[in-house]
Amino acid sequence: MKKITLVFVLALFAGTAFSQELRLNTYAGYVFDDEVSSYYSSNSYYEGKILGGLRWGAGLEYQLPGGTKAFELQYLRQDSQIPIQYVDSGILGGQLQETDFDYTANWIMLNGTNYFPISEVAEPFFGFGIGMAILDVTNPDNGNNEGATKFAWALRGGSNFWFSEKVGLRIQASLMSAVQGAGGGVYFGTGGTGAGVSTYSTMYQFGFDGGIVFRFPQ
């Protein structure tokens, strides 16, 4: 996480020094359901889904000389629930349990974007990002809470539509993930100390976002 934070800081200084234009991107959109599961054995597993809902946030974007490439420091937040069915041999003799976990995800991303302007109004783009997902999951049945900060990546594509020189509409589709292979995912502590299904499940969240873009030429 320290290395990712260092990259963000260096990118911020580099963007301030060399950008030809600064933009403020705002985001609000819908994230679709995502299945999560883990199977250790017939007496130790869980399965469920992260329910879809609102995701919102903002990003500070630096346009590089040439006007077709940019990078953005972005923050997004999602609050949702995760209905889970689980079995654990250490809880009630391995009986099937059901819980609606409370879930919060805070995404902090560094995105690289390629723009393909086709007119003064339409500005399609495609980009890739890396960063961190700060995840928090709470079991309301017993108050057990777990949080973690994990490596994340994102793909996105869409277009800006400019109403004027300084204000436009941004529409995009995106895929975001906290990667299990890098130690990421959602942690479920279904029991108390020393008991419960405690494992990771890779998450892939697809969504659509829209928002207002503000452009500030240097």
Q: Which residues does 106 contact at the CB level (< 8 Å), separation at least 6?
A: 75, 76, 77, 133, 134, 135
Phi, psi of 199 (to 5 degrees): -155, 180
Distance separating alpha carbons of residues 178 and 185, to the nearest angstrom = 5
The pLDDT tens digits for 145-186 are 777 788 899 999 999 999 999 999 999 999 998 875 433 345
Q: How high is the pLDDT of residue 10?
A: 56
The pLDDT tens digits for 59-95 are 999 998 887 999 999 999 999 988 887 776 655 556 7
Q: Which H or E element spans position 82? A: strand 69-88
- Least Cα distance to 170 among 28, 8, 7, 15 occurs for 28
More confident residue, 13 or 193: 13
Q: How high is the pLDDT of residue 195?
A: 35
pTM: 0.80
Q: How high is the pLDDT of residue 4?
A: 52
54-70 per-residue burial string, b: 16 or more CB within 10 A, e: under 16: ebebbbbbbbbeeeeeb
Q: How high is the pLDDT of residue 25?
A: 97
Q: How high is the pLDDT of residue 17?
A: 54
Go through the domains of the chain in sequence order and give each one's CATH number. 2-217 (2.40.160.20)
Q: Which residues does 187 contact at the CB level (< 8 Å), separation at least 6?
A: 135, 137, 146, 147, 148, 198, 199, 200
Report the chain's mean pLDDT, rounded to a whole number: 80
What percent of the chain clears pLDDT 90, i.e. is strictly above it? 44
- State the alpha helices, DSSP H only, in the chain: 2-18
